[in-house]
Amino acid sequence: MDDLAATNGTSATNGADDTNGGTGAGSPAEARGSRAQPKTDKSEQTRALILETAMRLFQERGYEKTTMRAIATEAGVSVGNAYYYFSAKEFLIQGFYDRMTYDHAADARRRMAHTRDFSERLEIALVSWLDTAAPYHEFAAQFFRTAADPNSSLSPFSNESHPARATAVELFREVLQGSELAPKLDAELVELLPDVLWLHLMVVVLYWVFDRTEDTERTREFVRRSTPMAARVINLSRYRVFRPIVRDAKGLIQDFILPTIGKTAVK
Amino acid sequence: MDDLAATNGTSATNGADDTNGGTGAGSPAEARGSRAQPKTDKSEQTRALILETAMRLFQERGYEKTTMRAIATEAGVSVGNAYYYFSAKEFLIQGFYDRMTYDHAADARRRMAHTRDFSERLEIALVSWLDTAAPYHEFAAQFFRTAADPNSSLSPFSNESHPARATAVELFREVLQGSELAPKLDAELVELLPDVLWLHLMVVVLYWVFDRTEDTERTREFVRRSTPMAARVINLSRYRVFRPIVRDAKGLIQDFILPTIGKTAVK
DNA sequence: ACGCACACTTGAACGCGTTCAGTTCATGAC
DNA sequence: GTCATGAACTGAACGCGTTCAAGTGTGCGT
């Protein structure tokens, strides 16, 4: 946990969506999470220091109980300075979220390398998320509340940019592509599935957030049970009987789900 | 909109879940949304006045921009008094939510009375919700954020009591029971489906909250498309080929979904 | 009539997230 | 060197949700 946000950085974070893109017709002069580009090393260090301190305090006391004043004091800066780097408290979560997504993807890749069984790979990917997120379960609830705000840039859906989602979807593409199932499916479905599997993860996350059992054992059981079923449904989709219903489902996903999470429908 | 919360009351709201039930093992001494039972008429009037004022201001300015001070001033009471009736700002939403659920159920029943086609009845129920909720779309986002907090009693899941959910589930039971489909399904499925259909509504609500199109046209299109598909899936479940997968799905729902939303699994 | 209990009401005060007018500091131009 | 520019930083102040010690009223027992 100490290494969280240790590599401060722009990693794969923001590109150049400031100059054009979504900002045009949106709400006027909406403040972004932080400054566009750091000018100095020192700046970058301060930013990292604040983020690190915040993460530590969040874990120690929870999100709501950690005050901006406490973060600033503990980091040895002023409140105003913290706001210079993170334009609101919730943007501190953004850094945390990006980092965790990255860690999860790395861990899942490592763990599922040994098998080509789709169901197993999917389960590994999901369980890996639960393990990665475990230390933060306590304050995840409070942070989830923020993420559920459609106006917040923290929402897992929409709000252009947010490369964390792309990272996660990419992981699920690999879950599928690395399995023996992928070659058996038609190309269009292979194209669609990663996003659907990511949605599966979102459902698991939702379940996890509300899970009050020891070590979130209930969610883990849920994953163990739901994963083979998902695999079975996908597998069955190859058969003729299911053709029409699969077609409908694909249409629904293409027209209504993907656009919502910021993809243009496959033409 | 003027008539919202006009009939102040306990309508079908709380019964007698104060004396026993869920409070036992829960968090210690958690404050309930308001006092248990009103002692006087005047009390009831004041409460209604505050709720009415709050709802009006929420619609005029949005949830966050409406301050407790403004509500109190506008209603001609003190801030403290507002807190005497609603122990937090979010509990004002509770009143709003209860009321809307009730209105929705009444409207949906009226509208679907003329048909016995399941798909049509389901669509009517969903569209009815969209129509009922339409005036509040603007501030629903902010209120949804609150509802997503697992610790909040506003969460649509869990948190025992909350008769609003029971009302909604009951509506979907009628959607099914009043259709020609119900007699064709096995009893167990008929038992399960209302809750699943309610989940369907929750998905629609989620979609709706994020919907920025004019008159939430996109969500309406989503309902038009997803409803027949849901009907088809349920209809197909009767056939032999699907027997094993339906069994699995039922198991998953019984063991993992229903308990989460406060039902004991059907034995 | 008295007083007592308790529902009801008040508004100042607390701690918080956030803002902003200002100060410090580093860097490049001359 | 010195000075201008703007990034980096400061902390008092604002508005908010919420709390609480203290009031006011009302009905009931005696």
Verify whether the Cβ–Cβ distance B207 to A256 is below 8 Å. yes
B27 min Cα distance to partner chain A (Å): 12
Distance of C1' in D16 from CA in A84, Å: 21
Q: What secondary structure does DSSP assign to chain B, as a single string?
A: -TTTT-S-S-TTS--S-SSSGGGTTSSTTPPPSS-SS--SHHHHHHHHHHHHHHHHHHHHH-TTTS-HHHHHHHHTS-HHHHHHHSSSHHHHHHHHHHHHHHHHHHHHHHHHTT---HHHHHHHHHHHHHHHHGGGHHHHHHHHHHHT-TTSTT-SSSSS--HHHHHHHHHHHHHHHTSSSGGGS-HHHHHHHHHHHHHHHHHHHHHHHH--SGGGHHHHHHHHHHHHHHHHHHHHTTSGGGHHHHHHHHHHIIIIITTTTT-PPP-
Are residues B13 and B31 in contact, defined by beta-carbon separation less than 8 angstroms?
Answer: no
B187 min Cα distance to partner chain A (Å): 23
Q: For residue B95, is pLDDT > 80? A: no
For helices A217-236 and A187-210, angle between their N-to-C axes, nearest 10 degrees: 160
pLDDT in tens, B11-23: 333 333 333 333 3
Nucleotides of D under 7 A from a protein CB: 7-13, 15-21
Give the phi and the psi of residue B179 in degrees, each rounded to 5.
-100, 165
Does any strand D atom come closer than 7 Å to the Cβ of A249? no
More confident residue, A31 or B144: B144
Distance of C1' in C22 from CA in A261, Å: 43
Quote the pLDDT of residue B138: 77
Question: If you compute the radius of gyration of chain A from its CA atoms, what whole number of angstroms results?
Answer: 20
**Facing A149 at nearest CB: one of B145, B152, B248:** B145
A40 min Cα distance to partner chain B (Å): 37
More confident residue, A45 or B155: A45
Could you count the other beta carbons within 10 Å of the beta carbon of residue B116? 13
Amino acid letter at A51? L
The encoded tokens of residue A70 equal 């406490």
Verify whether the Cβ–Cβ distance A149 to B149 is below 8 Å. no
Question: If you compute the radius of gyration of chain B from its CA atoms, what whole number of angstroms results?
Answer: 20
Query: Which percentage of chain B shows pLDDT scores above 90?
Result: 56
Nucleotides of C under 7 A from a protein CB: 7-13, 15-21, 26-27
CA angle B140, A265, A240 (to 5 degrees): 110
Quote the pLDDT of residue A65: 93
pLDDT in tens, B33-86: 555 555 667 788 999 999 999 999 998 998 999 999 999 999 999 999 999 999
Quote the pLDDT of residue A167: 92
Give the B-side interface with A, CB within 8 Å.
Answer: 141-142, 144-152, 155, 157-158, 207, 209-210, 218, 221-222, 225-226, 229, 232-233, 236, 241, 245, 248-249, 251-252, 255-256, 260
Are residues A120 and B126 in contact, defined by beta-carbon separation less than 8 angstroms?
Answer: no
The encoded tokens of residue B23 equal 């409070």
Verify whether the Cβ–Cβ distance B245 to A225 is below 8 Å. no
Give contacts of A150 with chain B, Cβ < 8 Å. Answer: 141, 144, 209-210
Does any strand C atom come closer than 7 Å to the Cβ of A90? yes
- Statement: the pTM of the whole predicted model exceeds 0.85: no
DSSP 3-state of A112:
helix
Quote the pLDDT of residue A249: 92
Tokens 């996109």 belong to B218
Quote the pLDDT of residue A264: 60
B4 min Cα distance to partner chain A (Å): 25
Give contacts of A254 with chain B, Cβ < 8 Å. Answer: none
Distance of C1' in D6 from CA in B87, Å: 48
The secondary structure of residue A23, as a DSSP letter, is G
Give the nucleotide nearest to A65 (CA→C1'). C16
Quote the pLDDT of residue B83: 97
Range of lowest pLDDT (A165-179, B150-164, B242-256):
B150-164
Alpha helices, DSSP H, located in chain A: 41-61, 68-75, 79-85, 90-112, 118-133, 137-147, 163-177, 187-210, 217-236, 243-252
Q: For residue B118, is pLDDT > 50? A: yes
Quote the pLDDT of residue A158: 58
Quote the pLDDT of residue A148: 76
Quote the pLDDT of residue B148: 76
Spatial separation of the C-alpha atoms in residues B172 and B192, rounded to whole Å: 11
The encoded tokens of residue B25 equal 């093992």
**Facing A145 at nearest CB: one of B148, B233, B260:** B148
For chain A, how far is it from start to end, CA to CA, in angstroms?
Answer: 44
Tokens 């009415």 belong to B52
Which ranges of chain A have pLDDT less than 70? 1-40, 158-161, 262-267
Sign of the CA dihedral running B233, B238, B244, B250:
positive
